[in-house]
Amino acid sequence: MLSEYPLTLPALSPDTSTPRGAEVLKKAKAQVGFIPNMYANMVHSPGLLETYLDGYAAFRAESGFTPAEQEVVFLVISRENGCEYCVSAHSFLADKKSGLATDVTNAIRDGNPIADAKLATLADFTRTLFHTRGLPSKAAVETFLAAGYSERQILEIVLALAVKTLSNYANHLFHTPLDDVFSARAWTQK
């Protein structure tokens, strides 16, 4: 999904950004090893990129979800937002870094059921929080908790929703080109 009007701001590097932007891009590169196209765009608002980076790092470090479960959350949100860039990037991360089974990643990408019951519950609850804007039913919460998750992890999904909203919306506005490293897992919304 892309905005009708693409922003025309050029991608920035530490050399072409403001001093504050360069500082945030250096932080980004230290976290992921390179500067993805998404970051090169988001840094036009250094606060936007830094908020994204800090929230993303906090979710990864403190959510209580396994790396595979974290990817389920990020993939579901990105798919629901129609962010082709983030679904592609998180599919790559799921395959290469997080240990999420490819059939689960593909099920989320394609909007199909997930065979693993616990991951299916996580995906369903994340989708519910997205669509209800944080107003899940009592039954939805009870199902999530019965699967072995905690009330605190509900708040962690809220954090993931906030983080992915920042990146997904920025990608919609910029029509962010996919980095070559993610191209094998390119995804287009149907």
Q: Is pLDDT above 90 for 190?
A: no
Cα 20 to Cα 22: distance, rounded to the nearest angstrom: 5
Cα 165 to Cα 28: distance, rounded to the nearest angstrom: 18
- Please report the pLDDT score of residue 163 as a whole number: 99
Q: Is pLDDT above 90 for 115?
A: yes
Q: How sure is the predictor about 173, in pLDDT bands with cuts at 50, 70 and 90?
A: very high
Q: Express each pLDDT in 78-95 by its tens digit.
A: 999 999 999 999 999 999
The closest of 16, 42, 18, 9 to 28, measured between CA atoms, is 42
Output the average pLDDT for the chain.
98
The closest of 34, 39, 23, 31 to 174, measured between CA atoms, is 39
> Are residues 174 and 6 in contact, defined by beta-carbon separation less than 8 angstroms?
yes
The closest of 85, 64, 54 to 150, measured between CA atoms, is 64
Q: Express each pLDDT in 49-77 by its tens digit.
A: 999 999 999 999 999 999 999 999 999 99
Domain 11-62, second-level architecture: Up-down Bundle (1.20)
Question: What six digits make up the tokens of 63?
Answer: 């959510």
Q: How sure is the predictor about 1, in pLDDT bands with cuts at 50, 70 and 90?
A: confident
Q: Three-state SS for 84?
A: helix
- Please report the pLDDT score of residue 24 as a whole number: 98
- Please report the pLDDT score of residue 92 as a whole number: 98
Cα 190 to Cα 188: distance, rounded to the nearest angstrom: 6
Mean pLDDT score, 113-142: 99
Domain boundaries, the chain: 11-62, 65-185
Q: Is pLDDT above 90 for 4?
A: yes
Q: Tell me, letter by letter, the H, E, C secondary structure of 26-72.
A: HHHHHHHCCCCHHHHHHCCCHHHHHHHHHHHHHHHHHCCCCHHHHHH
Task: Please name the amino acid found at residue 144.
Answer: F
Q: How sure is the predictor about 2, in pLDDT bands with cuts at 50, 70 and 90?
A: very high
Q: Express each pLDDT in 129-145 by its tens digit.
A: 999 999 999 999 999 99
Cα 149 to Cα 143: distance, rounded to the nearest angstrom: 9
> Are residues 40 and 11 in contact, defined by beta-carbon separation less than 8 angstroms?
yes
Q: Is pLDDT above 90 for 112?
A: yes
Domain at 65-185, CATH from 3.30.300.210, 3.20.20.140, 1.20.1290.10, 3.40.630.30 = 1.20.1290.10
Rounded (5°) CA angle 76-102-159 = 25
Percent of the chain topping pLDDT 90 = 99
> Are residues 7 and 174 in contact, defined by beta-carbon separation less than 8 angstroms?
yes
